[in-house]
Amino acid sequence: MFISFIKWEWNNNYCVFSSEEYLLSQSESYGWIGGFIDEKLVFVIPYIEESKLLIRYIYFTSDLIQISSFNDTNLFYKSLIKFLSNLNFAFLAQQPPQALSLNKPKEVISAPFGSYRINLLLPEEQLWGKLHVKHRNVIRNSIKKDVVVEINSNNYEVLFELMNETMNRSNMSFLNKTDFVLYMNKMEGKQISFISYYHGVPQGCAIIPFSQHAAYYSYGGSIRKPLTGAINYMHWEAIKYFKNEGVRIYDFVGARINPIKGSKQEGLQRFKSRFGGDLVTGFLWKKPISKFQYNMFRFLQKCKKRDFNFNHDIIDQELKR
C-alpha cells in the first residue's frame, strides 16, 4: 500500500472531526494521510502534528475513513506507521475519545473504550420510548417548570463560564477565554451550542460539533447543582434538533468499559446510557515509534507536573486499574 500526505475534499457525509475547519481550530499543523492501492484512494485519516518538550509527535482526530472497498485495515496501519517513522515522529499519541477506533493496528498500546450512540433515523416517538423512564419523568418535570433551552446560542460568556466552572470542579484545565472564542468562531457552521435556563439562570450547556454523519456531545458544562432534569431536557431538545436537521447519529462521546463501581465515571455513563443509545465498543490506542523519545517525553511530563504517578491519557488510566 502506498501512503502519502494528501489534500482531501471533505463533505458533510464524513465525520466533522475530519473537516478542515475542525483541524484548523486545533492547530496550524494539520492535514490528511491517504492510503492507495493501484493509485486508487482507499483510506483517509486526519491528523494533527504537535511538538512539546522538544519532541515531535502526531495524533489522529477521527477513526479511519474508508473511501473505497478494501478490507485490510492492518495493511494500511502497518504502512502508515512505517511512513511516519521515516518522518522522525517520536510517537503516535492517543486519539481523542470522539475518534474511537473500531479496529486497531497490531502491536500498539491500547485500551478498550466505547461510546453511546443514538440512531436518529428512528421516528421521534420511538426515540422517546427508548429513554429510561426516569429520564422521561425529569424531562416532563422540566417542561412543567418552564425550563427553557436556547438553541444555537452565541452567548460565549455563559458557555465559557459553565464550561470553565465544570472543568475546575474536576481539576482539569480549559481554554482561556480568548482561545475559546477563537475556537467557537473557527467552528462556526460546524457546531451548535445549547444552554438550559431555569427562571433565567443558566443550568448547563452543550457544545456539539456535527455533520450529517453525526453530532457529538464533545463539550458540556453545568452549575454545581442544576435543577434536576434541566440537563436531560437540554439533550432531548438537541436530539430532536439534529434529527430534524437530517443528522444520522447522536454520539455521547466516551464510555469506559466496566467503570469503577460508585465512581463519577459510572454515574456519567449511567446518565448517557439512559437516553437509549447503543454502546458501541472499540479502542483507544497509541504507538511509540522512537521508544527512547516516547519514554523521555513521559518522564519530562511527570517532571513538569511534579507528579511521578501522573497518568498521561485514558489508556494509562485504564491499564493501571
For every residue of 38-77, DSSP letters joined together read: TTEEEEEEEEEEEEETTEEEEEESSPPEE-SS---HHHHH
Considering only CA atoms, give the Rg of the chain: 20
Give me the pLDDT at residue 171, please: 82
pLDDT computed for residue 204 by the predictor: 97
Q: With CA atoms as reference, report the closest residue to 8 among 22, 120, 162.
A: 22
pLDDT of 305: 81
The pLDDT value recorded for residue 173 is 82
**Can you give the pLDDT at residue 285?**
97
Would you state the pLDDT for residue 172? 82
Residue 255 gets which letter from DSSP?
B
Same fold yes or no, 2-115+281-319 and 123-207+225-243: yes
pLDDT value at residue 321: 80
For helices 133-144 and 230-244, give the axis angle rounded to 10 degrees.
100
Domain assignments of the chain as residue spans, ordered by start: 2-115+281-319, 123-207+225-243
Show the low-confidence residues of the chain (pLDDT under 50). Answer: none
Q: How far apart are alpha carbons 173 and 91 in whole angstroms?
A: 24
* CATH number belonging to domain 123-207+225-243: 3.40.630.30
Residues contacting 308, CB < 8 A, separation 6+: 302
CATH 3.40.630 at 2-115+281-319, yes or no:
yes
- Dihedral pair phi/psi, residue 268, rounded to 5°: -65, -40
> What is the reported pTM?
0.95
